[in-house]
Amino acid sequence: MNPCIPRRHALAGVLLTLASLTTAWADLPTASPAAMGLSTERLKRIRPVIQKEIDNQQMPGAVVMVIRKGAVVFSDDIGVKHDAIFRAYSMTKPMVSVLAMMMVEEGQLQLADPVAKFLPALAKQTVLADPLNPNSPTVPAVRGTTVHDLLRHTSGLTYAEFTR
């Protein structure tokens, strides 16, 4: 496997990761591509493209699913079983970002919303008085963390304690 992944392969990875959630989508209705405004002939082009990537050792296999207007219009497993489990790793970040932006579009969420609106425990955040000194006392934050801060990874929240 090539460690340098071109952008189109990364996009394919996102789509394939989403498609790997077939068990969660098992109850979705199916429809013919034509009924949903898609070309059956064009959808048939997917398998050879994925197969070429597998043959070139760019990916081990794939489960592909196309959903249109809530219905499965195309599903195929290539080089793997249809119920194969794929690790998502850091793909949750872009998935959550897309879902958050969908909520923004629907008016259910605003980028400027304080995170404390949803997680009250974060209402009284503190920060180091001197960010360059880990032994510095904490002081109240000038402002609370927003949804926008979380999406662009500028919230100041860490994954672990690095001061030990």
Please determine, for residue 3, whether its predicted confidence score (pLDDT) is greater than 70. Answer: no
Cα(5)–Cα(45) distance, integer angstroms: 22
User: 96 and 110, same structural domain?
Assistant: yes
User: 61 and 95, same structural domain?
Assistant: no
Cα(117)–Cα(104) distance, integer angstroms: 15
Which pLDDT belongs to residue 47? 94
**163 domain residue, yes or no:** no
Cα(23)–Cα(14) distance, integer angstroms: 17
Determine the average pLDDT of the residues in 106-121: 93
User: 105 and 144, same structural domain?
Assistant: yes
Side chain identity, residue 114:
P
User: What's the structural domain count of the chain?
Assistant: 2
**161 domain residue, yes or no:** no
Cα(72)–Cα(93) distance, integer angstroms: 25
pLDDT in tens, 14-43: 555 555 554 455 678 999 999 999 999 999
pLDDT in tens, 31-74: 999 999 999 999 999 999 999 999 999 888 888 889 888 899 99
Per-position b or e across 36-60, b if 16+ CB within 10 A of its CB: bebeeeeeeeeeeebeebeeeeebe
User: 130 and 72, same structural domain?
Assistant: no
pTM summary value: 0.51
The token pair that represents 60 in the structure block: 């081990």
pLDDT in tens, 117-148: 999 988 999 989 998 998 999 999 999 999 99
User: 21 and 76, same structural domain?
Assistant: yes
User: 104 and 71, same structural domain?
Assistant: no
User: 64 and 18, same structural domain?
Assistant: yes
User: 131 and 77, same structural domain?
Assistant: no
Cα(128)–Cα(134) distance, integer angstroms: 7
DSSP, res 137: P
* Phi and psi at residue 161, to the nearest 5°: -85, 120
3-class secondary-structure state, position 40: helix
Q: Domain residues for 27?
A: 7-87
